[in-house]
Amino acid sequence: MNNYYIYLIMYSQNNHLNLKLKIWMFSLLLLITLIILVGGLTRLTDSGLSITTWELFVGTLPPLSNEKWLDYFNLYKTIPEYNKQNFNMTLSEFKVIFWWEWAHRQLGRLIGLSVLLPMIYFSIKNGLWILKEYFIIFLLVCFQGFIGWYMVSSGLVDRVDVSHYRLSLHLVIAFIILSIVFWKFLKLTDIKNNQITFKLYSLKFFLLLVFLQLIIGAFVSGMDAGKVYNTWPLMGSTYFPNDSRFIEFLNLEVFDNPAIVQFVHRNLAYLIVLVYFYILYSVLKEGNTKLKFPIMIIGLSLFFQICLGIFTILSGVKMFYASLHQINSIIIILSTLYFLYITKYKEIGS
């Protein structure tokens, strides 16, 4: 009887800890989603270069005097974006882009503290295994802060925008952190696994394509490639942009061509949809009703993503459509990870 009560106490304590950890992971999930949204808007409003210094340990407080505002503005006036593109900008206009970048940086600081402080608390209270389980998140968040500045620094000399390669790295790391946090959240739940008889590589390939599309999407955003051709389904009057050549794919600098980047982004979306239909066929063939709803959610989010991508192109990259396009990519990633988590795979023939 005593052993039974000890078991109940331990079970209750584990449940209580799991609940706290779930709240922690869910809170981080919301914050990371928010910073991806704000980061996208920061890019769409061309605000990312408004703060020209890293300010690792300062900059938490915004400018509180006109003199401080002028200091930030004068620093901004030294970079190419101002001299070549925004030379008519007023202080009032500068404040608009400043607030976007400032908010983005403060969210990054908040996320860092939201990882570090609970991790220290849980490690002291529940053991160092917490560090082993969650330290990777803190490490990636710190690395992301460095990559953020690495990205910004690329736009301070000799160019009016940040490097689209560094921008894509910054975005992908954000989605990797989001994915890890979501996966750890799922592991704290009591969601049951199922079985399906399609091979594991198909879903892995699908997820790989989605992350590759995120990279190409960041190229499109970083180069303003969405504004090059604003027609669909053709690019102008042709399927392949007539200002480019296929032979350019043999060049290492192929992704410096905005037209080709937009072409790849479009066609990679078509490939992702085809792979999705293969997975959908496998699920329906298996006949597992528990998997039909999550696979349909993925399909619905893909449909919206295609529509939003088309609207973004046709509208000349209106902020509303472009922002929704990025938000929906979060839904695609999370719904795919959820489907992957609830599925216990078995190889065909095994």
- Look at residue 46 and tell me whether its pLDDT is greater than 70: yes
**Mean pLDDT over each residue of the chain, to the nearest integer:** 89
- Look at residue 148 and tell me whether its pLDDT is greater than 90: yes
Token readout for 46 is 């061309």
- Look at residue 202 and tell me whether its pLDDT is greater than 50: yes
Q: Give the global pTM.
A: 0.90
- Candidates 265, 280, 263, 255; CA nearest to 329 is 265
* CA 73/CA 44 separation, integer angstroms: 20
Residues in the chain: 350
- Look at residue 153 and tell me whether its pLDDT is greater than 80: yes
Place 330 in a pLDDT band, splitting at 50, 70 and 90: very high
Contact 262, 235 (CB under 8 A): yes
State the pLDDT at residue 232: 94
Classify strands 194-196 and 343-345 as parallel, antiparallel or unpaired. parallel
- Look at residue 334 and tell me whether its pLDDT is greater than 90: yes
Q: 346 or 130: whose pLDDT is higher?
A: 130
State the pLDDT at residue 251: 85
Place 15 in a pLDDT band, splitting at 50, 70 and 90: confident
- Candidates 252, 275, 276, 172; CA nearest to 217 is 172
Place 262 in a pLDDT band, splitting at 50, 70 and 90: very high
Q: 189 or 118: whose pLDDT is higher?
A: 118
172-187 tens-digit pLDDT: 999 999 999 999 999 9
Q: Which residues pair with 343 in a beta bridge?
A: 194
- Look at residue 325 and tell me whether its pLDDT is greater than 50: yes
Token readout for 13 is 């304590």
**DSSP category for residue 256:** G
- Look at residue 227 and tell me whether its pLDDT is greater than 70: yes
State the pLDDT at residue 348: 40
Place 195 in a pLDDT band, splitting at 50, 70 and 90: low
* CA 128/CA 119 separation, integer angstroms: 10
Place 127 in a pLDDT band, splitting at 50, 70 and 90: confident
State the pLDDT at residue 198: 54
**Looking at residues 118-123, what average pLDDT do you find?**
94
Name the burial class of residue 105, with classes exposed (0-12), middle (13-18) and buried (19+) by CB atoms within 10 angstroms of its CB: buried
**At which residue do the structure tokens 């919206």 appear?**
304
State the pLDDT at residue 350: 36
3-state secondary structure at position 68 = helix
Place 197 in a pLDDT band, splitting at 50, 70 and 90: low
- Type of residue found at 178: L
